[in-house]
Amino acid sequence: MDTELSEISTFIHSIPPFDSLPKQVLAHLVRELTINYVRKDDYLPPKGINEPRLYILRKGAISCRSADGELVSRLGEGDLCDAFYHTETNAQSNSQTATTSQLQVHTDEDCLIYSVEATVLQDIGGRFPSISDYFSQNSAQRLKNKMTQVNEEAILSSTLMNTAVSNFYQSPVASISTNQTIQQAAMQMNEQGYSCLVVVEDDNPVGIVTDKDIRRRCVATGLATSAAISEIMTRDMCTIDAKSNAYDALMMMTAKHIHHLPVTKNDELVGMVTVTDLINNEGHNAINLSSIIHKANTLTELKEISQLLPKLQIRLAKLGSSADHVGKSISAITMAFTKRLIEMAEYKYGQAPVPYAWLAAGSQARQEQLAHSDQDNAIIICNSMKPYDDAWFESLATFVCDGLAECGFIYCPGDIMATNPKWRKPQKIWQNYFTDWVETPCPKALLNSCVFFDLETIYGDVALLNKVRKQLLIKTQNSTLFIAHLTKNALNLRPPLGFFRDFVLKQNGKHRATLDLKHNGIAPVVDLARIYALSEGISAVNTIERIQQAAGTPSLTRGSAENLIDAFEFLGMLRVEHQAKELMRGETADNYLSPKEISKLEREHLKDAFKVIKSLQDARQSSY
Amino acid sequence: MPSTTLTNSPLFGWLLGYEAKRKLLLNKAPAGALRDFLSVPMPCMATPIDKVAILAVDFETTGLNAKQDKLLSVGFITLKQQQMSLKSSYHQIIKTKAQLEESNVIIHHITDSQKEQGQALATVVEALLKALAGKVMLVHFSRIEKQFLTEACHHLYGMAPIFPMIDTLALAKRRLDKRDVAYDPSELRLANLRHKMQLPEHHGHNALNDAIATAELFMAQMSKANKDGKITLKDVLL
């Protein structure tokens, strides 16, 4: 009698979490089902049903609206509706998630609906926790569990991401005083077996010296080994906080092309981490790629290397890397390309007439770039520049932007590039720009200039941008009008809650419905994070860092921050996987996801992610 | 459609009314399942269709001729207020002496060994009559169920009961005939009608699956035809 009710069983078995049930339990569950036919423009629960039940949509479409009539979700074939599953509203549910008891569930079409009593599922849940977990959680919790699982996969394939630098650094740091000689330094390196020493003055680290410096700056130049070590040390030393993850350390070293990185704890030097320490733990070749870029001498060579970028992205995606990991790797490599091009330009046109910095804007600045996205860049120049100096900067900008375009980073469609004279200005003009945007926030100008609130120095004098940023953040924190305008703009992009339903409706038509992951999912989170950062004076640019730092401030509760990061990571992961598939087929990577590409479970999670984003957008809207 | 006896003819039903005929038969019926069935009043003809208690039924048989062929299995489920509970569903294979013909085995997936696990015809018909009491039988293509149940009752009780039926095929045919446009008879198949109503794919030939599929089709038909809720049992009865 195995064909009995087989179609219903097969259907139920295809829906998470029931896909995890053994056959016998499934058969029992199917026996407990009730089938209802609910006509169009009616409401759930069907007449005569009062007890709590879970509804499973077999055919048709329903929409759930909150008490004030706003659409919360639209469900189609194979979707679960738990609006009437819990008898009482959960007193602990936070205000950002709608209480389900107030939902109005309306049939948009004739519906064939299966349902099962909550008590039956609770019985099954007693033996199969995957069932009870699924229905005891709200969407944010389900997403959280999903992301924990994803991270576990990532840990297996890449330990660096989830390991703090503190697990890798060597301590204590070998140090040497500024007034000691080069020869003493070389002897100390030999004795202790280090290739790198931190130079200290009155216990304060002031620089770093490596065996390579002795070779290049002393022996090769004929400098006396009796000269002070301070002569050959590198002064502007990068450091990393011990709490940072090891992957960030690796990326920092990749981008700056250095092999040693001093580690600090509360601004005090505690150790040193080397590339070798890290690379032994990491299989991928971002470092290699970066060092080949550094050695390239011609544009043709760079162009060849750039063709490896999609391959790296595929590889990272296959390793199960998180979107954060992929974004940081690709951004670090783009940074290496840009730096190499600038070095080539400086070689070609001579040294810059005045100090300057090359800035990356948008996704590269946020370290969320994927292979061959468009370039957004700008130049900030020291106020001492004379009008005729601009010729040099124009040459630089043209050389670098053209070079990046050759390497597959297409020109910015909005002309946000250093070649545009508007975005190649001295520090004081940049300061005026920001002041104008903040003080007279015309919505349209804001939309165009939003990209400049995410800026990072790629090359040159870091202090130029830092000063502008510091003043900007003081202004934005105190300008509610500006934040209100920014919020209004940001809320133009809403996650499409009816997306799945629309897709089902259009499945027989010519138009293949897709989801724009970038504009409908990722951008709204990036926008929210920017608003939190600007209202709370947070200087971080990376979206996850911004959310982490905003957590616990008046802008964002800790719980919401965690949910938002989970949603962002999940959307990012979908994008990375989607693009990897396209790149493997030799297609251009885009952001348009077809629901057919993803599993039913992923669709559930995607819906959960949208709900989290929407609830925080709503919270934001109501605060202005 | 060959009708067997006068008392089973539609003309007779029309003249006397189901209820009157039921009472008539009740007096003649031997004690037992048939008598119990006939002692429950039929639903009133003026009842709005949504409120009528319905039993969706499907038989699998060894052939189309009720005199020669045998009942293989019976499936049914109660439908009321556009709702069916699978708990109320029933599916039973019947133990018969007839050797299964190979071609039918392929259609119904019932093998001789499975059939041996079946129950006696009397037990299954009793269960059906018990469930059907006070309800209207819903089938797709009424000839099979009507003739095989009549034949089985003759065999078991020496007389046949009267049972009002709704036939989803007849309802669909009525609609198509009204349009005055030629149609392919295959359009009237259960799977094809369901497809037209955008109901889930259905692969038939299990008596219970088919009974459920028929009930779903009927609900979809009523959704189209009964928007104002004025359709009564009388309007849809065969």
Kindly state whether residues A337 and A379 are assigned to the same domain. yes
* B 58-87 residues inside an 8 A Cβ radius of A: 75, 81-87
Give residue B98's pLDDT. 55
Give residue A149's pLDDT. 56
Closest CA to A541 of A331, A375, A255, A382: A331
| Lowest pLDDT segment from A3-7, A211-215, B125-129, B186-190 | A3-7
A 10 A CB-CB count for B204 gives 19
Does A146 reside within a domain?
Answer: no
Give residue A144's pLDDT. 63
Q: Which amino acid is at A139?
A: S
pLDDT tens for each residue of A554-581: 889 998 998 899 899 989 988 888 888 8
Kindly state whether residues A236 and A264 are assigned to the same domain. yes
Strand B71-79 relative to strand B90-93: parallel, antiparallel, unpaired? Answer: antiparallel
ipTM of the complex: 0.86
Contact between residue A515 and residue A603 where contact means Cβ atoms under 8 Å apart: no
Residue B27 contacts A, CB cutoff 8 Å: no
- Can you read off the two tokens belonging to residue A50? 């009062």
Number of H helices, E strands in chain A: 25, 20
- The CATH number linked to A16 is 2.60.120.10
Chain A: residue nearest B201 by CA?
A: A7
| Lowest pLDDT segment from A309-318, A380-389, B138-147 | A309-318
Give residue A143's pLDDT. 63
Kindly determine whether residue B87 and residue A7, on different chains, have CB atoms separated by under 8 Å: no
- Can you read off the two tokens belonging to residue A96? 């950002």
Per-residue confidence at A157, pLDDT binned at 50, 70, 90?
very low
Q: Report helix, strand and coil shares of chain A as percent, to nearest 5.
A: 50, 15, 30
Kindly determine whether residue A110 and residue B223, on different chains, have CB atoms separated by under 8 Å: yes
Contact between residue B127 and residue B90 where contact means Cβ atoms under 8 Å apart: yes
Domain that holds residue A413: 286-428
Q: How far is A122 from chain B (nearest CA, A)?
A: 18
Residue A384 contacts B, CB cutoff 8 Å: no
Give residue A510's pLDDT. 35
Looking at the partner chain, which of A34, A39, A110 has a beta carbon nearest the beta carbon of B83? Answer: A34
pLDDT tens for each residue of B2-61: 444 555 555 555 556 788 888 889 998 998 999 999 999 988 888 999 899 999 999 999
What does the domain layout of chain B look like in residue ranges? 6-233
Kindly state whether residues A251 and A290 are assigned to the same domain. no
- The CATH number linked to A270 is 3.10.580.10
Looking at the partner chain, which of B91, B202, B203 has a beta carbon nearest the beta carbon of A1? Answer: B91
Per-residue confidence at A313, pLDDT binned at 50, 70, 90?
confident
Q: How far is CA A157 from CA A147, A282, A328, in A?
A: 15, 9, 17
Chain A residues touching residue B114 (CB < 8 angstroms) = 1
Please give the tally of structural domains in chain A: 3
Kindly determine whether residue B223 and residue A31, on different chains, have CB atoms separated by under 8 Å: no
String of DSSP letters for A22-78: -HHHHHHHHHT-EEEEE-TT-EESPTT--S-EEEEEEES-EEEE-TTS-EEEEE-TT
C-alpha B30, offset from chain centre:
23
Question: In whole numbers, what is the pLDDT of chain B averaged over residues?
Answer: 85
A 10 A CB-CB count for A591 gives 19
Does A456 reside within a domain?
Answer: no
Burial B83-94 (b: 16+ CB within 10 A, else e): bbbbeebbbbbb
Kindly state whether residues A344 and A300 are assigned to the same domain. yes
For residue B10, whether the previous peptide bond is cis, meaning omega lies within 30 degrees of 0, is no
Give residue A342's pLDDT. 95
C-alpha A345, offset from chain centre:
31
Position A430 pLDDT exceeds 90: yes
According to DSSP, the residues that pair with A62 across neighbouring strands are A75, A107
Q: How far is CA A523 from CA A362, A455, A568, A578, B212, in A?
A: 11, 16, 9, 17, 47
Does A487 reside within a domain?
Answer: no
- Which of A2, A3, A108 has the most B C-beta neighbours within 10 Å, making it the best mutation to test the interface with B? A3
Is the four-CA dihedral A416, A417, A422, A428 of positive or negative sign?
A: positive
The radius of gyration of chain A from alpha carbons, rounded to an integer in Å, stands at: 28
Give residue A504's pLDDT. 40
pLDDT tens for each residue of B162-209: 899 999 999 999 988 888 778 888 889 999 999 988 898 887 778 999
Helix (H) or strand (E) holding A261: strand A260-265
Q: Indicate the residue among A279, A310, A335 that finishes a domain.
A: A279
| Lowest pLDDT segment from A176-180, A582-586, B94-98 | B94-98
CATH class of B6-233: alpha beta
What is the rounded CA–CA span in Å between residue A505 and residue A509? 8
Q: How far is CA B216 from CA A113, B222, B235, in A?
A: 11, 10, 19
Question: Residues with Cβ < 8 Å from A601, sequence gap 6 or more?
Answer: A16
Residue A33 contacts B, CB cutoff 8 Å: yes
* Higher-scoring residue by pLDDT: A145, B75: B75
What is the rounded CA–CA span in Å between residue A135 and residue A85? 8
Kindly state whether residues A254 and A374 are assigned to the same domain. no
Kindly state whether residues A296 and A373 are assigned to the same domain. yes
Contact between residue A18 and residue A12 where contact means Cβ atoms under 8 Å apart: yes
| Lowest pLDDT segment from A148-162, A210-224, A354-368, B74-88 | A148-162
Summarize the confidence of residues A135-161 as an average pLDDT. 57
Kindly state whether residues A367 and A404 are assigned to the same domain. yes
Does A35 reside within a domain?
Answer: yes
Kindly state whether residues A249 and A324 are assigned to the same domain. no
Question: In whole numbers, what is the pLDDT of chain A averaged over residues?
Answer: 82
According to DSSP, the residues that pair with A80 across neighbouring strands are A56
Closest CA to A254 of A283, A228, A281, A278: A278
* Higher-scoring residue by pLDDT: B102, A595: A595
Max distance between CA atoms of chain B, in angstroms, equals 51
What is the rounded CA–CA span in Å between residue A594 and residue A507? 11
Does A573 reside within a domain?
Answer: no
Number of H helices, E strands in chain B: 11, 6
What is the rounded CA–CA span in Å between residue A432 and residue A383? 13
Q: At what angle do helices A558-584 and A600-622 cross, to 10 degrees?
A: 140
**End-to-end alpha-carbon separation of chain A, Å?**
63
Q: How far is B209 from chain A (nearest CA, A)?
A: 6
What is the rounded CA–CA span in Å between residue A146 and residue A134? 11
Per-residue confidence at A2, pLDDT binned at 50, 70, 90?
very low
Kindly state whether residues A310 and A262 are assigned to the same domain. no
Closest CA to A559 of A616, A477, A490, A623: A616
What is the rounded CA–CA span in Å between residue A21 and residue A29? 10
Q: Report helix, strand and coil shares of chain B as percent, to nearest 5.
A: 50, 15, 35
Position A545 pLDDT exceeds 70: yes
* Higher-scoring residue by pLDDT: B200, A622: B200
Kindly state whether residues A41 and A175 are assigned to the same domain. no
Residue B103 contacts A, CB cutoff 8 Å: no
What is the rounded CA–CA span in Å between residue A320 and residue A155? 9
Kindly state whether residues A311 and A414 are assigned to the same domain. yes
Kindly determine whether residue B81 and residue A47, on different chains, have CB atoms separated by under 8 Å: yes
- The CATH number linked to A306 is 3.30.460.10
pLDDT tens for each residue of A449-480: 678 889 999 999 999 999 999 998 998 888 88
Does A271 reside within a domain?
Answer: yes
Residue A349 contacts B, CB cutoff 8 Å: no
Does A518 reside within a domain?
Answer: no
Q: What percent of chain B has pLDDT over 90?
A: 48
- Can you read off the two tokens belonging to residue B159? 């007389």
Q: At what angle do helices A286-295 and A299-306 cross, to 10 degrees?
A: 170
Q: Which amino acid is at A84?
A: F
Looking at the partner chain, which of A31, A46, A110 has a beta carbon nearest the beta carbon of B83? Answer: A46
Residue B201 contacts A, CB cutoff 8 Å: yes
Q: What percent of chain A has pLDDT over 90?
A: 26
What is the rounded CA–CA span in Å between residue A391 and residue A438? 30
SS (H, E, C) A161-218: HHCEHHHCCECCCCEEECCCEHHHHHHHHHHHCCCEEEEEECCEEEEEEEHHHHHHHH
DSSP three-state, residue A116 = strand
Kindly state whether residues A26 and A82 are assigned to the same domain. yes
